């Protein structure tokens, strides 16, 4: 993953959670659908969060499966500091591991029942995305699931530009400061969004079953696949 991404996210680590709702027009449904898809027959599944940031998505899953064993991976140590603070008051904090690393080239030593990710994988090149989907499939236990809540490129130039214009309209009315808006626009210049159909195809080619985009709002989508 590009180190300039790490630099930009290090810079906003302390304000990231405060801004998240303002930067995501569909925040409630986006995370709500993603959370609803995280299902396991085990009361203590092993869960891996790729690009965990401050642990927002993992903390939601924790409320659903408090006996889970979590591994949170992120390139930004400052972001994971926020995750450590978030989880410090939880009862099962000993079941949570924090790993500062680039997950796109990390060697995983165990299997997981569930792999989750939110607003991270779009920073990878398309080739790296495909390779990551293959890695996720390999480290999942049989029957394990992958839930990826991420950004999506429009199917053509018109729709992609429309998505961006609607997002800019939303954040301009969100109450964020001009400085925060400018910084967010700058961060999005590093995005390498992929088309919805391409992401579904790449997951299926890897071997995932039951693949679909389970939710989409302009350029925000929630993808699901099962091993």
Rounded Cα–Cα distance for residues 34 and 118 (Å): 9
Q: Which percentage of the chain shows pLDDT scores above 70?
A: 91
What's the CATH code of the domain at 29?
3.40.50.150
Q: What is the pLDDT of residue 2?
A: 47
Higher pLDDT, 93 or 104: 104
What confidence category does residue 180 fall into, taking pLDDT thresholds of 50, 70 and 90?
Answer: confident
pTM of the model: 0.91
What would the pLDDT profile of 146-177 be if each residue is shown by its tens digit? 999 999 999 999 999 999 999 999 999 989 89
The two three-digit tokens of residue 138, written as one number: 């390999």
The two three-digit tokens of residue 141, written as one number: 């236990």
What would the pLDDT profile of 53-68 be if each residue is shown by its tens digit? 999 999 999 999 999 9
Residue matched to tokens 């999506």? 152
Instruction: Please list, residue by residue across 71-100, b when 16 or more beta carbons sit within 10 angstroms of its beta carbon and e when fewer do.
Output: bbbbbbebbbbbbeebbeeeeeeebbebee
Q: Which domain holds residue 75?
A: 3-226
Helix (H, G, I), strand (E, B) or coil at 87: helix
Count the domains in the chain: 1
Contact between 99 and 75 (Cβ < 8 Å)? no
Whether pLDDT at 80 is above 70: yes
What would the pLDDT profile of 28-53 be if each residue is shown by its tens digit? 999 999 999 999 999 999 999 999 99
Q: What is the pLDDT of residue 40?
A: 96
Rounded Cα–Cα distance for residues 58 and 87 (Å): 9
The overall average pLDDT reported for the chain is 91
Contact between 145 and 114 (Cβ < 8 Å)? yes
The two three-digit tokens of residue 182, written as one number: 């400018």
DSSP bridge pairs for 149: 118, 222
Whether pLDDT at 16 is above 80: no
**Average pLDDT value for residue range 91-118:** 92
User: Strand (E) positions, the chain?
Assistant: 46-50, 69-74, 96-100, 112-118, 140-153, 194-195, 209-217, 220-226
Contact between 114 and 40 (Cβ < 8 Å)? yes
What confidence category does residue 92 fall into, taking pLDDT thresholds of 50, 70 and 90?
Answer: low
The two three-digit tokens of residue 30, written as one number: 């986006």
């Amino acid at each position: 993953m590009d180190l300039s991404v790490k630099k930009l996210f290090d810079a906003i680590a302390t304000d990231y959670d405060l801004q998240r709702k303002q930067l995501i027009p569909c925040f409630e449904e986006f995370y709500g659908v993603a959370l609803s898809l995280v299902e396991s027959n085990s009361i203590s599944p092993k869960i891996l969060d790729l690009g965990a940031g401050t642990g927002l998505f993992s903390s939601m899953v924790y409320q659903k499966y408090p006996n889970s064993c979590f591994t949170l991976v992120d390139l930004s140590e400052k972001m994971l500091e926020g995750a450590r603070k978030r989880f410090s008051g939880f009862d099962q904090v000993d079941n949570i591991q924090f790993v500062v690393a680039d997950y796109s080239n990390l060697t995983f030593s165990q299997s997981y029942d569930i792999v989750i990710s939110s607003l991270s994988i779009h920073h990878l090149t398309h080739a790296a995305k495909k390779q990551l989907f293959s890695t996720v499939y390999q480290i999942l236990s049989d029957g394990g699931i992958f839930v990826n809540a991420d950004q999506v490129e429009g199917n053509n130039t018109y729709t992609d530009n429309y998505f961006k214009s609607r997002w800019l309209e939303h954040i301009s009315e969100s109450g964020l400061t001009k400085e925060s808006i400018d910084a967010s626009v700058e961060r999005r210049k590093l995005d390498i969004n992929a088309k919805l159909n391409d992401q579904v195809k790449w997951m299926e080619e890897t071997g995932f079953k039951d693949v679909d985009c389970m939710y989409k709002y302009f350029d925000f989508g929630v993808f699901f696949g099962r091993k």
